[in-house]
Amino acid sequence: HNVRGYLPLKVVHFIMNLHTLPRTFYLTRHGQSEYNLIGKIGGDSGLSHNGVEYAHRLAKFAKEVIGVETSIVDGKEVKTSRPARLWTSTLQRTKETAQYIEHEEIEISYDNGDKINWVQFRQNERRNLDELYAGLCDGMTYKEIEQNFPDEFKARQNDKLAYRYPRGESYMDVTLRLEPLAHDLERTREPILCVAHQGILRIVYAYFMGLSRAEAPFVRIPLNHVIILTPHAYGCHEERICLMPKEEMVNDGQDEPVTSMPEKPKDPTDADSVMDVPSC
């Protein structure tokens, strides 16, 4: 259709993936990992005891909330199964978080009368959902980074958005690799449970909530929470559900280093370093 140029083609491709049907996304970090316990970033560690407990609770939430649709029939509330999708990264901690989710088979009907058998929460491992790669700093604590790479530590504090770890990635790099994922999210009609990582979910959250790129690296994505996003014509509705309060967890973990970017004062009711344990 005589569309030429990089940006015009990008716009056309984006518009082709849009639809007006309501849809809901359920975003959650993996359960607490062994690296979370000792404050290390990156890596491919498995879940801690707390992380396994969260995986059980997430499976229950998926079955009773995400995969169910409530309607009113003759004045009575009726619950029926609805098709739902499951996306994880390729890293061990997200796959272990999704391991207890049931994959029952249901029959769904389309407007034209066609019927198909749908496997609930069929796991789709996506490499572009993998956590921001910390390069030479992968598997280190922030204290170790400060001691071994003081210049890099300072550079990250000065510009968290554009800073790229040595032989690793920046938030800008992650934004580029998440572009195809954004198109898939716009195109998909079924509710999606996305089990991923803090750095990744910050970008996805910022995209749907209309935040600037500069704000994205500072979005709070705590452990043990499901963030429910429902896009609509003039924005996006957000709801956060805590499946495992911090009081039930072991008080270990480590905060991210303080950055030079001004932040809002913390509400005293906010979760502490246990829930906001660092990732990248």
30: closest CA among 99, 78, 80? 99
Q: Is the dihedral of CA 247, 251, 252, 254 positive or negative?
A: positive
DSSP 167: T
Instruction: Tell me the CA distances in angstroms from 33 to 7, 94, 127, 182, 210, one per residue in order.
Output: 40, 9, 19, 27, 30
Question: Half-sphere exposure of 140 toward its Cβ, with a 13 Å CA cutoff?
Answer: 17
Instruction: Tell me the CA distances in angstroms from 134 to 14, 28, 87, 176, one per residue in order.
Output: 30, 21, 22, 16
Catalytically annotated residues: 29-30, 36, 93, 131, 197
Judge whether 177 and 130 are in contact, CB under 8 Å. Answer: no
119: closest CA among 102, 133, 134, 136? 102
Judge whether 231 and 208 are in contact, CB under 8 Å. Answer: yes
What is d(CA 242, CA 230) in angstroms, rounded to the nearest whole number?
18
205: closest CA among 182, 233, 183? 182
Length of the chain: 280
